[in-house]
Amino acid sequence: MFLAYMKETCNSNISSPSFQVRGCYLEHERLHAACLGLESPIHPTKADTDNCYHMCLEYAMQSLRDHNASVFVATHNKVSVQRTLELMEKYEISPDDSRVSFGQQMGMADHLTLPLARAGYHACKLVPYGSLDDMVPFLSRRANENRGIMKNAREERNLYFKELQRRLVMSK
């Protein structure tokens, strides 16, 4: 697992593609280090975390040439999706290559998922399922990880409004 929020991830000798996480255990890692009196193992800035995430993503894409592997890009981050598309082009990975998939949670980042699917990329929606006791903490963690979600929601709402206007004008 690539833990992109951990300082050591970018400095480690990564030997094979794996599951990549941007920041789901951030608070736990910081608290754990503080309790032990250790320096935080977390990158000091989000930009550092994003850079590490993209470095790991490039490694994974590059590895598709040499390994029987696959990459699931599960992110609501538009820049990371764009970076993945650039890397697919760089490494000559076609949109319909089943080794690369994109996914976002149901109800989030439709402005990313739908265009990817329309363009022939493997794109899907995660539908969380489980008991209320399991789902509330899970969804709370996802909301906390995606602090920029309100900005994304505004952007998504504006895109929906533009599409509605376009369809209304076309129907006349």
CA–CA separation, 168 and 1 (whole Å): 47
Query: How many CB atoms sit inside 10 A of residue 5's CB?
Result: 24
pLDDT of 9: 62
By CB neighbour count within 10 A (0-12 exposed, 13-18 middle, 19+ buried), where does 110 fall? middle
Provide the CB-side half-sphere exposure for 44 (13 A, CA).
1
Q: What is the pTM of this model?
A: 0.71
pLDDT of 77: 87
pLDDT of 62: 87
2-129: which CATH architecture?
Alpha-Beta Barrel (3.20)
pLDDT of 164: 75
pLDDT of 32: 80
Cα four-point dihedral sign 98, 86, 62, 46: negative
CA–CA separation, 96 and 26 (whole Å): 34
What residues in the chain have per-residue pLDDT under 70?
1-27, 144-153, 156, 172
By CB neighbour count within 10 A (0-12 exposed, 13-18 middle, 19+ buried), where does 87 fall? buried
pLDDT of 105: 84
